[in-house]
Structure 1
């Protein structure tokens, strides 16, 4: 994950094909940007995240990569690994060794969120933690949310075509 990769994904999006959460299509346009910190194994980086605004309902939306969890600095693959290690009875702090930007307080917070909000959701629909792409698709199709998202806002998953 890098700013240049993020920018290339956003640049390749066909905005006229995107649908707002109000169900209107071809109504989103760039509204602005904000800075967001993401904790990577190479260190924390600041991404300039694009926001779009719907001309029909006025709602604004951030355009995030599928590896990003809304309202979290910890990348989705690291959160997934922490949850998997927890479920498998392994030491959950191993992610801290591979990603020094994540500390034990981050791990505790992720596990608290997982146990409170996500564990039973996954179990109720027999959604597995792996593979990651299946987890993402299942969470969006069943809950309209990214896995481990804290705030319950309706989100949409847009496929990135190469």
Structure 2
């Protein structure tokens, strides 16, 4: 996973990125932080690149769409949890990824109900691969 992340970072044209202050070409690399990700192969540590805008001094992280900010659970597992209708579905997910437990499932379902469910319904946004783009487009924030 780190190798793939690094390859995506190398392919990134930093000069083309726009800061939330709407200035392009002002981002510079500004260190990194580590994020633990729960995968079926174990808990992996990923070094996340940070950028700083020379214009407004805000910092930003380069995250792939499969990584949800502040979460150790990957996007596709989060969607599976939200979509699950039965305990059998959740049990299967926890068997496939033993690093996800009942407390993770409960937290994700609660956060979805409190913060996202009504927003997504109001814009008729589906729980599919377009979700990240749709959340940026409609709400100016990542799911």
Quote how far apart the aligned CAs of 1:15 are.
0.4
Mapped pair 1:50 → 2:54: no
Task: Provide TM-score, normalisation by structure 2.
Answer: 0.95
Quote how far apart the aligned CAs of 1:76 are.
0.8
Q: How much is the aligned-residue C-alpha RMSD, in angstroms?
A: 1.0
- Residue aligning to 1:33: 32
Moved more, 106-115 or 95-104: 95-104
- Residue aligning to 2:135: 139
- Residue aligning to 1:110: 108
- Tell me: higher relative CO, structure 1 or 2? Use CA pairs within 8 A at least 6 residues apart: 1
Task: Provide TM-score, normalisation by structure 1.
Answer: 0.84
- Residue aligning to 1:121: 119
How far apart, in 1, do the equivalents of 2:73 and 2:26 lie? 31
Instruction: Tell me the alpha carbon deviations over residues 66-117 of structure 1, each in whole angstroms, 9 at most, x when there is no partner.
Output: 00000111101100111111xxx23252321111111110000000001101
**Secondary structure, counterpart of 1:8 in structure 2:** helix
How far apart, in 2, do the equivalents of 1:60 and 1:136 lie? 20
Ranges of 4+ aligned residues in structure 1 off by more than 3 Å = none
